[in-house]
Structure 1
Amino acid sequence: MTGNANFQFYYVDQDFNTSVDASSWSNSPADIGSWAVYATDGNPGLQDHGWYFGVDEAELQLNVSGAADNGLNYGFKIELNANTTDNAMADEVRLQLSGGWGTLQLGDEDGAEDVMNYGGENLMGATGGFDGDYDDVLFRNFETYNGVEQMAAPSYPTIVGDTSDATKVSYFSPRFSGFQVGASLTPTPQSGDGFKSDKAWENHIGIGANYDNTFGDLRIRASAVYSGASSTTSPNTDFLLNDISAWSVGGIVNWGAFGLGANYTDNGDSGMWDLSNEGRTSESSYWNVAASFETGPLYFSAGYMSSVRDYSGTDPYYVAAPDSTFENIALTVDYTMAPGLGIYAEVDLISDEFIGGGAVCEDNWGGINCSNDATILIMGANVSF
């Protein structure tokens, strides 16, 4: 059995700090796609604080394994959420069978499109930098138009359709000369007893191939993954969802104590409402890069993520609309005080612009604030065993 828990201090200074209602910070990911976008309740008020305390993570993980006389290895994993604010008691529940033929996973576990992918996010320390906990306090009030059109740029390095811990079957081959392939089949975006509901998509396929090899002090990793699914939601006769079809490539090079990683992901119009008959379409993509250095008990990392949503179509406004963009410069440091005890700090410098973030946006979208610059500091302590 293993476990971990943390305690975090947050400080945030953002342009929306006088127009944010605390109840809008529900931070519930949109069901369509997998990037982090959040909904406002439409009642702007004052931000309660510029700083916060939080317990973001508290988990217990049970791993049980055995081996048969014929060489078959078997076991199961259960990850329990100990934080009382979590919506599910168990985060990951899966069986695993493995042998010389590879590894088969059955249950609620991350898919091949996630676990086989490499990028700068793998090198980030603290809470994860541009893949971390900054969203706990960052406010975004312009992610959709009329609750239909996805308008904001992606704010996380997550391929559209990432199935996370939805119930699935995954196979991973043995690694030959550093190469490995894998695939996952996920019928619905649900887990646990909710597996019967399709929701926004069905029949997701995640495919990945990667390379991981070491030559003395040099370690090289590279990956390519694909995420695809059929859309199911049709809220009315005018709008349908585009099917999910996204791809990602990335790599990491480690030399001694130094590391360098990068990733590029093209989501296309995956999971977006099909408004082509209205003359409006949009596509999104992102890229990131990160570097790390480790010396004794200290681990340092610096990273940058940039994403864009590009608008096109025959609608005059879409033709003239500037891109929506999101940028995050992240700096982290971790210090291991004792086995299982660590402290960390992270700074995220964020620029979030909706349709260019200027007058074109504000004049055409009811005078809303179309850009948000934020500086976020997170410091924490973690105990694991």
Structure 2
Amino acid sequence: MKKGLLGSSALIGATVLMAGVASAAEAPTWKLTGNANFQFYYVDQDSTSETVQEHGWYFGVDESELQLNVSGTADNGLNYGFKIEIQTNTTDNTVADEVRLQLSGTWGTVQMGDEDGAEDIMNYGGENLMGATGGFDGDYDDALAYTWYPTMAGDTSDHTKVSYFSPRFSGFQVGASLTPQPGLDGDDFKEDGDWENAIGLGANYDNSFGDLRIRASAVYATVSSTNTGTEDKAAWSVGGIVGWGPASLGANYTDNGDSGVDVGDDENSSYWNVAGSFETGPMYFSVGYMSALYEEDADYEFEYTHIALTADYTVAPGLSVYAEYNIQEVSETGGWSHDASLFIAGANISF
């Protein structure tokens, strides 16, 4: 799904420190936002080994959440605040999805807590342009008997971390994240795990020249394995988006190498995507393609491809309807395969 944490309106803006000027700091202010959706699914799938459900259409609530943002400014110009993202769906097993503190100033921004890292937040690609539920980065796995989709090795998701993001200078920004135990959140018992000391690094560029907007990124993630028989995780990703007025084109390539495989095995994986979008008035359209390849030795391959079409319509402020069509194919050497086509239509209300 789309991530916009580094936009000018998402990170708390820096305030210039004025020497010799004193003012009484005001109490922090808070803002509550949220959304809920309802979706219709129709799926047609065929698998050589998985049990495929006969009932091909469903209703579902995929997302329901509230987000509380608190922000304040100290006398010395320091901006501070916190965010709590509260999951409110009937099937959510945990209450909070993301909880983090944030400090910022002319020197940059520090985030501390359960939040995505630099390797995710700073990365651009076709996934940023997909509408509706997200296309190849969306909710298609809710209704499929078999799901497999590529992710970046070493991505620490919302696990507890500390991140730093520099100010943006002439469009350029850098960031770094440290996650001591990638499997732990909140106040989980601090036990040893299979992975430790995750580091995420990122650099990106975002600038506009009239109607032309250019975005580019390069990120790297590494995680150490505590098992001497398992390779460390190390992955890199490059991507970009070019927009001209209402139209945009984006792409991304990610290489996971031999991350997490048994030492001595000849295995590697990578994936790439491309997407285009067009916005006119209250309507937004996108089309995207993703391809992933997992190779083992010289005689085995696991291949994944995904085509997605999406359409969104804003009915009124806070009310939108959307639809998307997905075609997914998964196959491996030896004849196993799983093919699926999935249509999703839904409505979302937010405030």
Matches within 5 A, 1:29-40: none
Could you list the runs of 4 or more consecutive aligned residues of structure 1 that deviate by over 6 angstroms after TM superposition? none
1:78-112 residue CA offsets vs partner (Å, 9 max, x unmatched): 00000121121100000000000000000000000
Distance 2:121 2:189 in 1: 21
Which ranges of structure 1 fall in alignment gaps of 5 or more residues?
Answer: 21-45, 142-153, 235-239, 313-318, 356-360, 363-369
- Is 1:254 aligned to 2:254, yes or no? no
> Please, what TM-score do these two structures have when normalized by structure 1?
0.80
Partner of 1:71: 77
Counterpart pick for 1:182 among 163, 166, 175: 175
How many residues align? The count is: 319
Which one-letter code corresponds to 1:340 in the other structure? G
**Counterpart secondary structure, 1:246:** strand
Paired residue for 2:185? Answer: 191
1:93 to 89, 99, 116: 99
Select 1:311's aligned residue among 273, 276, 296.
296
1:3-42 deviations in Å (ceiling 9; x for gaps): 011111111111139942xxxxxxxxxxxxxxxxxxxxxx
CA displacement, residues 88-144 of structure 1 (integer Å, 9 cap, x when unaligned): 110000000000000000000000000000000000000000000111122338xxx
1:48 shift after superposition: 4.8
- Cross-structure match for 1:84: 90
Among 212, 222, 228, which residue is 1:228 paired with? Answer: 222
Residues 197 and 5 from structure 1, CA distance in 2 versus in 1: closer, same or farther, beyond 3 angstroms?
A: farther
Instruction: Identify which of 327, 331, 344 aligns with 1:353.
Output: 331
* SS class of match (1:159): coil
Q: Return the letter of the residue paired with 2:346.
A: G
Aligned residue number for residue 165 of structure 2: 172
Deviation at 1:231, TM superposition (A): 1.0
194, 200, 220: which one pairs with 1:200? 194
C-alpha contact (below 8 Å) 2:230/2:260 kept by paired residues: yes
Residue equivalent to 1:61? 67
| Other structure's SS at 1:194 match | coil
Q: 1:107 aligns with which of 110, 113, 119?
A: 113
Aligned letter for 1:326?
A: Y
Q: Classify the secondary structure of the residue corresponding to 2:343.
A: strand
- Structure 2 gap ranges (5+): 1-31
How do 1:320-359 and structure 2 match up within 5 A? Answer: 320-321=299-300, 323-355=301-333
> What residue number does 1:217 align with?
211
Q: Which residue of 2 aligns with 1:14?
A: 45
Q: How many angstroms does 1:221 deviate by?
A: 0.3
- Please list the CA deviations of residues 236-290 of structure 1 after superposition, one character each: whole Å capped at 9, or x if unmatched: xxxx22101100000001100000000000000112233x2xxx42100000000
Asked if the contact 2:48/2:338 (under 8 Å) is kept, the reply is no
Alpha-carbon displacement from aligned partner over 1:177-218 (angstroms, at most 9, x marks no partner): 000000000011211122613433110000000000011111
Is the CA contact 1:298–1:336 (under 8 Å) kept in the aligned structure 2?
yes
Could you say which structure has the higher helix fraction? 1
Q: Which of 135, 154, 161 matches 1:161?
A: 154
Residue matched to 1:281: 266
CA contact (8 A) 1:18 1:47 kept: no
| Cα contact 2:251–2:275 (8 A) shared by 1 | yes
Where 2:47 maps in the other structure, the secondary structure is: helix
* Residues 198 and 49 of structure 1: CA distance in aligned 2, closer, same or farther (over 3 Å): farther
Structure 2: distance between partners of 1:92 and 1:223 = 24
Assess if the C-alpha contact under 8 Å between 1:188 and 1:195 holds in 2. no
Q: Secondary structure at the match of 1:71?
A: coil
Residue in structure 2 matched with residue 47 of structure 1 by the alignment = 53
Cα shift at 1:60: 0.2
Q: Which residue pairs with 1:269 in the alignment?
A: 258
> TM-score, length-normalised on structure 2?
0.88
Asked if 2 retains the 8 angstrom alpha-carbon contact of 1:17 and 1:47, the reply is no
Match of 1:371, as an amino acid?
Answer: S
Query: Alpha carbon RMSD of aligned pairs, Å?
Result: 1.5
Per the alignment, residue 5 of structure 2 pairs with none
SS in 1 for 2:187: helix
Separation (CA, whole Å) in 1 of partners of 2:144 and 2:188? 30
Q: CA deviation at 1:76?
A: 0.3
